[in-house]
């Protein structure tokens, strides 16, 4: 399976001719939906979900998301599929498992927001939550920084999930020096000789995963 960063928390998954995009928000590549067979949305915040992008994409792209997001897309009819924690669904050869129910708390004065994470073939995108799946995670897409999380919480989250490797997402809220500092701290606290590698990537970087038997990967800039 090939994974491409499309900026912030948006990624593209490609496997056996199938293309799935997760969380094409306002900070991601404006052409993120090009060639997509399906789109997965973790929650309704604008850095993960721009309704008009999905409408303008046209075609027959299926959309998988939680009920709160689906309520914004009733005009798209049967293309929109609602999922909840514990569900599973297939997109072509890819089987996705759904984990999580709520967005991490931003502040007690904010209402709670629905949030679902998606796991496929050992790769987990949690959206804006620190959900721990009930199955093995080989590649974790962990938040580099956000209004709703402290770096110490990310360290504990990575330790609890225990992935083979970590790719940092949700990074548009950090300056390059801050992202570098966060990466160094995470690497020192969760890495080491027996811990996961903590990697950063830029929009357009591609990652090739070795498949169900392992998670050896490397970010390769797209030319």
3-state class (DSSP) for residue 90: strand
Mean pLDDT of 184-203: 89
Confidence of residue 220 (pLDDT cuts 50, 70, 90): very low
Give pLDDT, residue 200.
94
Q: Does residue 194 surpass a pLDDT of 80?
A: no
Give pLDDT, residue 214.
45
Give pLDDT, residue 17.
95
Domains of the chain: 2-220 (3.60.15.10)
- Lowest-pLDDT range, 56-65, 156-165, 212-221? 212-221
Residue 91 CB partners (closer than 8 Å, separation 6+):
18, 20, 37, 38, 62, 64
Task: Tell which residue, 145, 165, 155, has the closest CA to residue 219.
Answer: 165
Q: Does residue 211 surpass a pLDDT of 90?
A: no
Give pLDDT, residue 191.
76
Give pLDDT, residue 2.
96
**DSSP states of the chain:** -EEEE-STT-EEEEETTEEEEE---TTS-TTTTTT-SEEEE--SSTTT--HHHHHHH-TT-EEEE-HHHHGGGGGGGGGEEE--TT-EEEETTEEEEEE--BPPPS-TTSPP-B--EEEETTEEE--SS----SS--SEEEEES-BTTB-HHHHHHHHHHH--SEEEEE--TTS-HHHHHHHHHHHHHHH-STTSPEEE---TT-EEE---TT-----EE---
Asked whether the beta carbons of 159 and 185 are under 8 A apart, the reply is: no
Give pLDDT, residue 209.
85
Rounded CA-CA distance 148/165 in Å is: 23
Mean pLDDT of 2-23: 97
What average pLDDT is seen over the chain? 92
In terms of phi and psi (left: phi > 0; alpha: psi -120 to 50; beta: otherwise), the region of 137 is: beta
Give pLDDT, residue 223.
34
Q: Does residue 159 surpass a pLDDT of 50?
A: yes
- Lowest-pLDDT range, 8-17, 45-54, 58-67, 152-161? 58-67
Rounded CA-CA distance 168/141 in Å is: 6
pLDDT digits (tens, 9 = 90+) for 51-107: 999 999 877 899 999 999 999 999 999 999 999 999 999 999 999 999 999 999 999
Helix (H) or strand (E) holding 13: strand 11-15
Token pair recorded at residue 172? 């548009």
Mean pLDDT of 8-22: 97
pTM of the model: 0.93
Give pLDDT, residue 217.
53
Mean pLDDT of 198-211: 89
Q: Does residue 221 surpass a pLDDT of 50?
A: no
Mean pLDDT of 163-170: 97
């Amino acid at each position: 399976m090939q994974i491409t960063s499309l900026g912030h928390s948006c990624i593209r998954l490609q496997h056996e001719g199938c293309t799935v995009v997760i969380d094409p928000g306002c900070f991601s590549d404006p052409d993120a939906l090009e060639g997509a067979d399906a789109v997965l949305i973790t929650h309704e915040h604008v850095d993960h979900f721009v309704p008009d992008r999905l409408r303008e994409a046209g075609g027959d792209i299926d959309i998988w998301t939680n009920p709160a997001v689906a309520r914004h897309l009733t005009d798209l009819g049967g293309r929109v599929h609602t999922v909840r924690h514990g569900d599973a669904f297939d997109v072509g050869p890819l089987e996705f498992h759904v984990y999580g129910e709520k967005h991490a708390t931003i502040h007690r004065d904010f209402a709670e927001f629905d949030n679902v994470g998606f796991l496929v073939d050992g790769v987990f995108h949690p959206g804006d939550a620190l959900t721990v799946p009930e199955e093995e995670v080989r590649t974790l897409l962990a938040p580099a920084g956000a209004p709703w999380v402290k770096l110490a919480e990310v360290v504990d989250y990575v330790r609890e999930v225990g992935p083979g490797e970590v790719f940092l997402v949700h990074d548009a809220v950090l300056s390059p020096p801050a992202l570098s500092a966060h990466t160094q701290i995470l690497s020192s606290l969760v890495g080491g000789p027996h811990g996961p590698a903590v990697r950063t990537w830029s929009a357009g970087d591609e990652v090739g995963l070795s498949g169900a038997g392992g998670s050896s990967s490397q970010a390769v800039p797209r030319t």
